Amino acid sequence: MKWSVRKLVTTAMLAAVAGVLMSLEFSIPLMPVFYKVDFSDVPSVIALFSMGPVSALCVEIIKILIKLFTVGTNSNYVGEFSNLIGAFMFILPIWLISRKTESSKKGMITALSVSGVLRIAWACFCNACITLPMYAASMGVSIDDVVRAVSAANPAITNLTTFIILATIPFNFIKIGLNYAIATVLFYRVAAAVPALRGAGA
């Protein structure tokens, strides 16, 4: 695949911004300490709609590396692994749907909505079957111990099921919704100023 200098530079710039944004994560009330909100998906979505899935995937991979080199990990790399899996879960569905909707605003919103549902569903499975067990193993404790630890933030969380319902689903809904909403607004503002960006990744 041949990349123009502009595409290479733009991808690198968006990746750098995403890396910074990923490092500026913050907690929200009633959520586990390792659940952090950041806005690093915003540059990825812009890269996806303006330059295509490969560019977006590069942004996702580079931002994780930037965060690891500059800040490190507070989840024994489990959170970063989960983010990498999530990258594939949002890039491919969005790209496939947007290809059929000619990058219209309605098509973009549809693609992001479908992606959001898929990502939340995947997050539930991933937390229950992959990342929570990995996190527990890396800390040398059981999954029940992890659940009990996070129940300090939300006493209603008493087992894995309530963890998924009261933590995983609302957290991902908030994080994904905020990122997608901001990305949509910014993309069309940038596209209006630089029309060549709109549909450039088709």
Of the candidate ranges 6-15, 68-77, 181-190, the one whose mean pLDDT is the lowest: 68-77
pLDDT band at 63 (very low <50, low <70, confident <90, very high): confident
Average pLDDT, the chain: 81
**What gap in Å lies between CA 77 and CA 165, rounded to an integer?**
24
pLDDT at 200: 47
pLDDT at 201: 46
Predicted confidence (pLDDT) at residue 82 exceeds the cutoff of 80? no
Show the domains of the chain with their CATH numbers.
5-197 (1.10.1760.20)
What one-character-per-residue DSSP string does the chain give?
----HHHHHHHHHHHHHHHHHHHS-B--TTS-TT--B--THHHHHHHHHHH-HHHHHHHHHHHHHHHHHHT--SSTTHHHHHHHHHHHHHHHHHHHHHHHTTT-HHHHHHHHHHHHHHHHHHHHHHIIIIIHHHHHHHHT--HHHHHHHHTTT-TT--SHHHHIIIIIHHHHHHHHHHHHHHHHHHHHHHHHHSGGGTTTT-
- Residue range 146-169: average pLDDT? 84
Predicted confidence (pLDDT) at residue 87 exceeds the cutoff of 60? yes
**What gap in Å lies between CA 65 and CA 79, rounded to an integer?**
13
For residues 90 and 140, the model is more confident at 140
What is the per-residue pLDDT across 172-194, written as a single tens digit (0 to 9) for each?
999 999 999 999 888 887 765 55
pLDDT at 202: 41
Q: What is the pTM of this model?
A: 0.80
